[in-house]
Amino acid sequence: MSVLIVAYNHERYIAQALQGVLLQEVNFPYEIVVGDDCSTDSTRDILISFRDRFPGIIRLVLHPENLGLDGTRNLLRTLKACQGQYVAWLDGDDYWTCPHKLQKQADFLDTHPQCALCFHNVWDFCEDAPEERFLHNAGGQKKISTLEDLLEGCFAASCSLVFRRGLVGEWDDIVERAGLDDWTLETLLAQYGDIGYIDEVMAAHRMHRLGVWSRLSATEKLERMIQFYEQVRPILSVRYDETIQSHLLRCHYDLAIEHERQGELEKAATCLRKCVTTPSVGFEQYLALLGIVGARGKGMLRRRLWLCEHRVMYRLARLAQPILGFLSRVRIAGRTLARWALGKSVGSITARPNPIRLSSDHQNGLGVTTVSWASAKLESAEVHIGAPNGPLFSRSGPSGRKETGEWVRDGMLFYLQDVSGGLPLTRANTVATVTVSVTGDEAQASRSLM
């Protein structure tokens, strides 16, 4: 096992990081390889003193000058110096809290050959307020994740990672261009296997107000994410093209909104043009969550693009926006009142089976059912989970039918919503609801944990 530590001006933290590694209790040999990116404080002196005390364990990679790129080159050079079968990553300002961390992760990879890397939960805390901490991975983190999951966003803290060194390739140019060192490295590794999760807190991650990521503006973060997707796309298999394309368009859309807020209409138009001209099912699903649906939604995007391309008309539209918003609310209120006066839409929604009866071999208390709905008075309907405006389950005309996956929990509510003519997702427009029950010993155990 190699423990890879990257450091730069970490004089206040590096001793704690090294001590957490040296306290590890393992049944295999390990080395500590520390790359110092030409620190200007006493970090290097502290590292040399530790190396002199533990010459058989600690090796130093001391760069004569700062390699730049926010430590990315330092990470790559230090990684090349590692010799272990597995590599554990630790930044010099983070630290490990469990003496069995390395042993548990090595055992996990030994028994899960399909996994290229594994990680665990950590405490995130702000340097200015160390007593205010929170878990990096909230409840529900998957035990086994895939590259598709990772492309949604980086969910593994770097100080929790252990990966197979044999999978590391000549990635210098890729990682340097992408700029997101940990996310890029995890993505490149996940090409070769799954990502395992150990649900234990075994490290602490220190967040700085001026950290590499946290100091970026919203615009800069989106630009870096676009850069990341564009750089890894030609490296990954073509099977991930649609996934990456949808994420790229999401970033371009969000970036267009940021540029609009800052009055940078030409840049906003450039981003929106990509969203309008590039087809992507995943991006359309993302827009649907924002209420931008179907042909009507695409028309909204085109109008927004046209306004950004015509600055004078954009300003006039902004001036008219409060008036148009008021008229829209009046229109919707009038339509709602008319529906109540003429009789609210009548419909039904059912689930079969209901209750869902679980057999003894079910381990998670979750079941599968088929939801059906119908109403002769609806032009268009949506089914949402948990609330009138909760996660979208399905969209249809007057009637529909759809099977769930194995994720239905006892007491889960499905709402049939009337969205004809753009009606909002409110309780006033709820046509019917159905509550699904799950019975069995595992369902009882699941309920007790809620």
Which whole number is the average pLDDT over 110-138? 90
Sign of CA dihedral 361, 367, 370, 374: positive
pLDDT value at residue 447: 34
| Least confident stretch, 10-24, 344-358, 359-373 | 359-373
Residues sharing a CB contact under 8 Å with residue 90, sequence separation 6 or more, in sequence order: 3, 4, 5, 17, 20, 21, 96, 158, 159, 203
Domain ranges of the chain: 2-207, 218-309, 313-340, 348-449
* CB within 8 Å of 116: residues ≥ 6 apart: 163, 164, 167, 189, 190, 191, 192, 193, 194, 195
What is the residue-averaged pLDDT of the chain? Answer: 86
Residues 70, 116: Cα–Cα separation, whole Å = 26
- Name the burial class of residue 319, with classes exposed (0-12), middle (13-18) and buried (19+) by CB atoms within 10 angstroms of its CB: exposed
Residue 279 has pLDDT above 70, yes or no: yes
Segment 28-39 shows an average pLDDT of: 96
Tell me if the bond preceding 353 is cis, omega within 30° of 0. Answer: yes
Q: Would you identify the CATH topology of the domain 348-449?
A: Immunoglobulin-like (2.60.40)
pLDDT of residue 445: 35
Q: Terminal CA-to-CA distance of the chain, rounded, Å?
A: 39
Mean pLDDT of 190-200: 96
Q: Look at 134-148, 228-242, 375-389 and tell me which has the smallest mean pLDDT.
A: 375-389
- Please provide the size of the chain in residues: 450
How much is the pLDDT for 46? 97
Could you tell me the pLDDT band of residue 35, with boundaries at 50, 70 and 90? very high
Q: Is the pLDDT of residue 153 over 60?
A: yes
Torsion over CA: 82, 87, 89, 92 (sign) = negative
Statement: residue 337 has pLDDT above 70: no
The closest alpha carbon to 92, from 52, 131, 129, 42, belongs to 42
Residue 77 has pLDDT above 60, yes or no: yes
Peptide bond connecting 391 to the previous residue in cis, omega within 30 degrees of 0: no
Confidence of residue 270 (pLDDT cuts 50, 70, 90): very high
Distance CA 141, CA 344 (A): 42
Select from 271, 225, 217, 212 the least CA-distant residue to 72: 212
Residue 259 has pLDDT above 90, yes or no: yes
User: Under a CB-based contact definition with an 8 Å cutoff, are residues 359 and 342 in contact?
Assistant: no
Residue of 314 and 193 predicted with greater confidence:
193
Helix, strand, coil tally for the chain in percent (to 5): 45, 25, 30
Summarised one tens digit per residue, pLDDT across range 354-385 is 998 886 555 567 889 999 998 766 778 899 99
**In this structure, which CATH number among 3.90.550.10, 3.30.1360.10, 1.10.10.10, 3.40.50.2300 belongs to the domain 2-207?**
3.90.550.10
* Beta carbons of 89 and 186 less than 8 angstroms apart: no
Q: Phi, psi at residue 417, to the nearest 5°?
A: -110, 135
Band the pLDDT of 346: cuts 50, 70, 90. Answer: low
Sheet holding 430-436, edge to edge: 392-396, 381-385, 412-418, 430-436
pLDDT at 345: 53
- Chain centroid to Cα 51, Å, comes to 38
